[in-house]
Amino acid sequence: MRNELLSLFDEAWKEFSDTWTDAHSKSSQKSIHYLRVNSRRLIATLELMQRSSRHQEIESLKRRVKKVLKRLGPLRDLQVQLETIVAFQQRKLIPVFKANLQQREQHEIEMIHDELKRVKKDRLARAIKEVRSEFRKKSATLAHDNVKRAADDLIGARCDEFLTAKRQFQQNQLSEDALHEMRIALKKLRYIVEAFPAALNPRGRLRPAKMRTLQKLMGESRDLELLRESLETWSRRKGRFLAIVPLSEELKERRRVLLTRIITVSEDFEHTLGPEIRRPAVETTRAISTSPEAEVVAIDNPLQTDDRTYEIRI
């Protein structure tokens, strides 16, 4: 079992290392995205090793990988805003705003290039090697049942975190903070499920596909809100806020439609967790409401999340 865990760890580190090299040389939206994904998968593997062996040095290594993940966040957000704003580039002032985003992106790329330089990766590689060596020594008698139990406990803990965050979202569905917390909790659950082999996931009903769908919806909602906030801040600084009000309102409406879908999809996902995982919940508020005559219809939308996007017509 120890060797199986080490093999899982080695694979996670190799993927992280390879995408680090790509992100350093290109810093493209795709390379940054994959480095963030593989950071989370490496963290998930480290968490399983830590729970299986109580190896204290792993915590320090986790923090270092999390630091890389956090540092990539601002560049990722700018790159997604640039991708999203393309659909609106014929609007007034948007070409100027887009140029501002591009300048900020270039600045972040220069910063990331320094953050991901070879010497820092080499230091992290040495820490990885040391943790691997210590884990190998201290877990020589690690039993298969212990690892399975650790995996089950970890998945259960992540399910609880997601459900707790979802309850908060139910109570205040217009809170960006509540949505963000639910999204982070879902990411942690998804990447643990994806990182573990089937033998270490006794809760087979936890399918990554459903989690990816919900995560995508929540991510698009957050991206729309970040874009709107960035656009409003920039326009106020330029003294041109009134010129972007129509687009700001349109972004709010698109986010409202996404939130409606998030409510539905998150309820469906909670049911897939099964009664042994789910906790009783009482919905106290529904921040998104429509009149009895409201109709949900499909529309064409450049920000669509699957084959169709929806709007609410009153």
Query: Domain segments of the chain: what residues?
Result: 1-142, 146-314
User: What per-residue string of b and e applies to 169-180 under the rule 16 or more CB within 10 Å gives b?
Assistant: bbeebeeeebbb
User: What per-residue string of b and e applies to 126-165 under the rule 16 or more CB within 10 Å gives b?
Assistant: eebeebbeebeeebeebeeeebbebbeebbeebbebbbeb
What are the structure tokens assigned to 280, written together? 């009783």
pTM: 0.81
- Going residue by residue through the chain (314 aa), what tens digit of pLDDT does each one get? 778 888 999 999 999 999 999 999 989 999 999 999 999 999 999 998 888 877 778 999 999 999 999 999 999 999 999 999 999 989 989 999 999 999 999 999 999 999 999 999 999 999 999 999 988 887 777 777 888 888 888 999 999 999 999 999 988 866 888 999 999 999 999 998 888 877 676 655 677 888 999 999 999 999 999 999 999 999 999 999 999 999 999 999 999 999 999 999 999 998 887 655 554 444 433 343 333 334 334 334 434 434 444 333 33
Amino acid at 229: E
Q: DSSP state, 87? A: G
